[in-house]
């Protein structure tokens, strides 16, 4: 494994309800090294953003959860980790899809030509004003082709079959590189995030879910807590 810590402790589960839930239970039972990865061939109850589920075919996609200890981040700056992980996945995908139009859709979904190829769910454990640990769930559509028009996969784009375990190792390297960059140079992480943010600087339609109204606006930036400007 060509990493210092991400993926060095690696657990593969042929099937589990949720890699995030499994890892969350595991850390209550014993101390785990930073960078511990839970990978699964199938999630029967995969978790997505805002209580949604993440559906994926068996043994055709990357489904992992990574344990991190970003205790250098305060609660108010926790969105920096979302930027970091989204950029790591962007870095990973552009190694294999160099000509594709890969963009990050706020907050941390990944799109290729406006179709979703990846979802991220980060669950933080807090201690006062600091983050005690983060469980980073990542689902990437790889070899699955029977998906709807709103989603895509690496195979759909290239026509190639991919070795999932090999791809995971590349992904681990990308995560570790961006994570270490976040520690040493958070400003570059924020700058890079905006440079590949879907719709940044463009007039787009948005929906205010609280007041159930649609409006037009231009994304000018991101607050430290993750809210769009």
Average pLDDT, the chain: 92
The residue-averaged pLDDT of 143-153 equals 87
Chain position carrying tokens 């079959």: 161
Q: How far apart are CA 65 and CA 24, in angstroms?
A: 10
Q: What is the pLDDT of residue 120?
A: 97
Average pLDDT over residues 27-44: 95
pLDDT digits (tens, 9 = 90+) for 61-107: 999 999 999 999 999 999 999 999 999 999 999 999 988 899 999 99
Predicted TM-score of the model (pTM):
0.92
Residue 58, pLDDT score: 86
DSSP codes, 147-202: --TTB--HHHHH-----HHHHHHHHHHHHHHHHHHHHH-HHHHHHHHHHTBTTBTS
Q: What's the rounded Cα separation, in Å, for the pair 97 and 141?
A: 13
């Amino acid at each position: 494994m060509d990493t210092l810590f991400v993926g060095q402790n690696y657990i593969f589960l042929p099937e589990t309800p949720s890699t995030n839930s499994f890892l969350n239970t595991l850390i209550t039972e014993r101390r785990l090294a930073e960078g511990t990865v839970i990978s699964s061939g199938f999630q029967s109850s995969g978790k997505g953003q805002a209580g949604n589920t993440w559906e994926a075919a068996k043994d055709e996609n990357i489904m992992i959860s990574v344990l991190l200890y970003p205790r250098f981040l305060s609660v108010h700056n926790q969105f920096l980790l979302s930027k970091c992980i989204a950029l790591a996945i962007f870095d990973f995908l552009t190694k294999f899809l160099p000509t594709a139009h890969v963009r990050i859709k706020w907050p941390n979904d990944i799109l290729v030509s406006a179709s979703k190829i990846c979802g991220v769910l980060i669950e933080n454990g807090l201690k006062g004003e600091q983050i005690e640990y983060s469980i980073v769930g990542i689902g990437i559509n790889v070899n699955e082709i029977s998906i709807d028009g709103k989603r895509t996969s690496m195979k759909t784009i290239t026509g190639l079959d991919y070795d999932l375990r090999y791809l995971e190792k590349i992904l681990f390297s990308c995560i570790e590189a961006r994570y270490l960059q976040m520690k040493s140079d958070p400003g570059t992480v924020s700058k890079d995030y905006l440079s590949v943010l879907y719709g940044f600087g463009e007039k787009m339609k948005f929906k205010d879910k609280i007041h159930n109204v649609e409006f037009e606006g231009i994304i000018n930036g991101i607050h430290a807590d993750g809210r769009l400007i």
